[in-house]
Structure 1
Amino acid sequence: MADVFGDDDDVQLIPATCDSDWTLASDFLLETVERCRRQKIPLWTHEQVCVAALKQNYHSHSLHLLRYRDIWIGCVFISFDSDVFWPDIDTNSSVFFHKLAISDAYHGQGLGEKALAALGNLAKHSQRRWLRCDCHGARPRLRAFYQAFGFDLVDRKPRLGFDVARYQMRIESAHTGN
């Protein structure tokens, strides 16, 4: 599997390699927290997106920075095959993503869709059948964003103390066409 997906006109997923990458990711997430707070949209707390909390909750290889035209624009956490929010179904052959964040400077410019396309390409090239995510159930705009991109709502119910909406999208195989 390649380390970088996409070309200069696509959003690229770049695996984190050093501590400064975690700081940059935390900064992107803090921007997102503040943007949502101003709009009274439920999201994480500052404490949940500080570097120490991120490192405690995610494996070092899961952090990916998002680059577009040689500019860092955001971050996402990626995991394969298992996820704490999906304990009740067989999640083999899945790619999960969490905390997808686009910087305020680039928010609303279509880069979220390009990031989702890059995640779909990662899943396809990794020979996974599903791209899965979850979000706060009380975020209708985010939920509509995922559905407009092609994700299907699996369910919405309390999980781990949160109102969680789970989404999945079937990925066509890069080798078999299905």
Structure 2
Amino acid sequence: MKQTRNVAVLVYERVDTLDFAGPFDIFAISSGKDRDFNVYTVGETKEALHTLSGIAITPAHSFDDCPMPDILIVPGGMGSRTEIHNEKLTSWIRQTAQHAELILSVCTGALLLAKANLLDGLQITTNRRALDLLRELAPSSVTIVENVRYVDNGKIVMSAGVTAGMDAALYVVARLHGQERAEQTAATIEYDWHEEKVQNSLHLAVSASKAELEIKRAASDDLEAMLRLYKEAARWIYEAKGLRQWSEDSFTMEYLEKFIREKEVFVAYLRGELAGCFSVEWGYEPIWGEHFHTDAGYVHRLAVSRSFKGQGLGGQVLAWSEAYIRGRGKTWMRLDCMAENPSLNAFYVSQGLSLCGRYDAEGWSANLYEKKL
């Protein structure tokens, strides 16, 4: 059964109206007929407060009775400069973040995340007029990114000023429910979505054989290269192992278009050539039954081009996946692979993964591996 995500929008005295109202409407309108999002406001109390522009609002919930958020939106405004000294508010943000799937800060909401001690090691941004203050509040381990609309660290997404929060909210909708859903939402409200090419943990550059391995979210421009890669992998499995673990015919443009639309799919490029492809998934996988649990990210459909064999790409993809899954607040990384491939299974063990399950079907089988993060 599909789960409705609770989206809590924090409000406080002198919050910026568009900072909270823009993302609120984005999630509410994109919720769809299946009610994918339950959106509500939350304040320290239920007493009426005023936005920076003087609009009176009454929070639907207080900290004491707020439903547990899956997504927490922390907007900015001049009031954030006062609220950074409100220990009850910053403590609530910190405690809520422990259980939330995703945190989205808008504008100077970044200051509140800094005071809640949530930014260690992240790439962060805020309104350009507040960058100096953010530098003072954030730990030395952060990297401040300027001149972007938003950055994505996995669990924590941060936007620049005011309307950039709407861009970031649409990005989150696309991340969770696909690009088409976000585009439909933007069209509904007649908003010109400033979509960012995210330079962050979803677009991580790492060293590989003295060249740059670039991992990023898959897009339509990647489909033809992905099709060649997956067909090559399916063909190799059959020719080398005599198994039809993957059917070459099952990889079509239609399948891959649906794949990148409905799943979090990533591509890895080396020297401008597609070197690997995989997805990270969070939902229930029927074949694993009692072995499945929700405190994990599941790496699926991992394929590395034979053209780059021996260059350590598999290990770097796994390292990237670990960081991404950890950033989403999960404590386990899991992946499945072809069971009847001793060298591949030995490789995963060498990377610190442990076998925790096996599934056998007619003509193919899979092992399930996991690693504590």
**TM category, shorter:** 0.7 to 0.9
Equivalent position SS for 2:226: helix
Residues 2-24 of structure 1 show CA distances to partners (whole Å, capped at 9, x for unaligned) of 55253241644311222x32332
Corresponding position of 1:106: 308
For 1:39, the aligned partner's letter is A
Corresponding position of 1:174: none
Calculate the TM-score normalised by the size of structure 1: 0.80
Residue 118 of structure 1 and its aligned partner are, at CA, apart by 0.8
Corresponding position of 2:226: 25
Compare 131-140 and 57-66 and name the one that shifted more.
Answer: 57-66
- From 89, 93, 98, the counterpart of 2:295: 93
Corresponding position of 2:204: 6
Corresponding position of 1:50: 252
Change in Cα spacing, 1:59 to 1:153, as seen in structure 2 (3 Å) is farther
Change in Cα spacing, 1:129 to 1:56, as seen in structure 2 (3 Å) is same
Compare 145-154 and 41-50 and name the one that shifted more.
Answer: 41-50
Q: Distance in 1 between matches of 2:276 and 2:203?
A: 15
- Is 1:74 matched with 2:276? yes
Q: Report percent identity of matched pairs.
A: 21
Residue 58 of structure 1 and its aligned partner are, at CA, apart by 6.8
Specify every segment of 5 or more residues in structure 2 that has no aligned partner in the other structure, as ranges: 1-153, 155-199
Change in Cα spacing, 1:61 to 1:81, as seen in structure 2 (3 Å) is closer
Say whether the 8 Å CA contact 2:218–2:260 is kept in structure 1: no
Greater gyration radius: 2
Corresponding position of 2:372: 170
Change in Cα spacing, 1:126 to 1:159, as seen in structure 2 (3 Å) is farther
For 2:239, the aligned partner's letter is R
Q: Distance in 1 between matches of 2:331 and 2:270?
A: 26
- State the aligned residue count: 170
For 1:36, the aligned partner's letter is I
Equivalent position SS for 2:285: coil
Corresponding position of 1:40: 241
Q: Distance in 1 between matches of 2:294 and 2:214?
A: 25
Equivalent position SS for 2:288: coil
Residue 170 of structure 1 and its aligned partner are, at CA, apart by 0.8
Residue 56 of structure 1 and its aligned partner are, at CA, apart by 5.3
Corresponding position of 1:141: 343
Q: Distance in 2 between matches of 1:125 and 1:160?
A: 37
Q: Distance in 2 between matches of 1:13 and 1:87?
A: 31
Equivalent position SS for 1:95: strand
Larger RCO, structure (CA 8 Å, separation 6 or more): 1
Say whether the 8 Å CA contact 2:219–2:260 is kept in structure 1: no
Residue 121 of structure 1 and its aligned partner are, at CA, apart by 1.1
RMSD: 2.5
Corresponding position of 1:130: 332
Residues 16-51 of structure 1 show CA distances to partners (whole Å, capped at 9, x for unaligned) of 222x32332121111112223332353311122223
Q: Distance in 2 between matches of 1:103 and 1:129?
A: 29
Residue 91 of structure 1 and its aligned partner are, at CA, apart by 1.6
Change in Cα spacing, 1:57 to 1:15, as seen in structure 2 (3 Å) is closer
Say whether the 8 Å CA contact 1:83–1:96 is kept in structure 2: no
Q: Distance in 2 between matches of 1:160 and 1:62?
A: 28
Compare 92-101 and 68-77 and name the one that shifted more.
Answer: 68-77
Corresponding position of 1:63: 265
Residue 97 of structure 1 and its aligned partner are, at CA, apart by 1.2
Residue 52 of structure 1 and its aligned partner are, at CA, apart by 2.5
Equivalent position SS for 1:105: helix
Specify every segment of 5 or more residues in structure 1 that has no aligned partner in the other structure, as ranges: 172-178
Say whether the 8 Å CA contact 1:8–1:68 is kept in structure 2: no
